[in-house]
Structure 1
Amino acid sequence: MKKCLIDGCDRDADSKAHGKKGYCSAHYQRIRIYGDAMTYKKIAKPFEFKKCLVEDCERSANRTNGGKRGYCSMHYLRVKRSGDPLVVKQTPSPAKDFIETHKDYDSDECLIWPFHRDKKDGYGRIHESGTERLITASRAMCIAAHGEPPTQRHESAHSCGKGHEGCVNPRHLYWATPEENQGDRVLHGTSNRGEAQWNHKLTVEQVREIRKLIDSHTLRELADMYSVSTRAIHSIKTRKTWAWLD
């Protein structure tokens, strides 16, 4: 065995043991990488978690996580912006200001939402306070003017029937169940059921004809006669669809 040149090292320096130039493999690799057989790779200090200085904040204040000066990244940005880690930047919102200004609107004329409105249904849209969820502007106005809904099922209904035109007059708004709201739409002529559906295939008269023929024809015969599926005919028969039609 060819002994390593380093004093105190008993490893084999033979090439068969991966040694080279009189050194064992370990010392030769140190020479190749660091230029010195006695230089060891520096061992990194164990990671030490630093908690943010703000009370009840469990985020990391370590620089590797974006922290600085004892604060986590979020609270440090607040300190940098306002000098106080607890001050949250308030983003101006003309839409929310509009609701706050008009929640006591006392005119009977429709108040039209002047901001973003959905192209499909015409209703205004706004981000719900404290979340990124979009809700109708009429719902936001109803909350501001009349308080929270009795249940999550309740909808902001319009006594004027002009919700699709963007009306958010608080005097026209009230909380109603989905069934009550749908009934109002029927009275106002704004319901999207029946022929008002964009993808409807049957008219009111055709549905009435199908009901008259349902006992004397098979589902397949009626489906072929009116160019619809047997499932559509069955749904009419069981009043799963068109149930509102007498």
Structure 2
Amino acid sequence: MTNSDFHRSATSLVSRVVGNGATARWIRAHFDYSETDWCLLWPFGRNENGYGLFGDRPKVKVHRIMCEYRNGPPPEKQPEAAHSCGNGHLGCVNPMHLSWKSRSENLKEMYQQGRKPMRYKLTPVQVDEIRALKNRARPDEIAKQFGVTQSTIREIHAGRIWKHDRKDHRIFTEDEIRLIRATHWREKNAEKFSKEFGVSISTIHRIRAGDSYGWVTP
């Protein structure tokens, strides 16, 4: 199947670019954009990570549409549309900057470009800290601190993901954090605190080192 045949198929993202709406017209007008030295920035709506979005239910990332138009369907082992410019988070959708790559290839390129990929996996301790920050900091600030999306923060705060199903789940108060940090280890070590609060010893160590609940001041 040629690229043009695939673009007309039901599974093609390109086939969804129909109608006379401003976003569809813009995409069609830039399918054959050939400038390689400059990024082509999406001028419409983006997600919280800066990537352009098109359509509805579900929305599609524009850079994937552009990548498909130029390179055909994604290979089975290379499903990610990678940016050679490193500016996907700024809304670049230049088809000349896009190619299909594996997850490991994409991550390697991001590191080479000096970008740290978003961290999607959280530890239970981090989730507890995110819950403790509810109504204390804005979702976008919390998301940036933990390297996740704002939607992830909202889902955690709403109790839709990472539900309270762990035995060692605990949200510390600011006074408890100050007590743990102010108490000398010879007076009360991490093991004693862990038993008192029902958490792991490593959780206490992280709190004392400031790696967790870093926003709590003395």
Shorter-chain TM-score bucket reads 0.3 to 0.5
With normalisation by structure 1, the TM-score equals 0.42
**Higher Cα radius of gyration:** 1
| TM-score, reference length from structure 2 | 0.47
More helix by share: 2
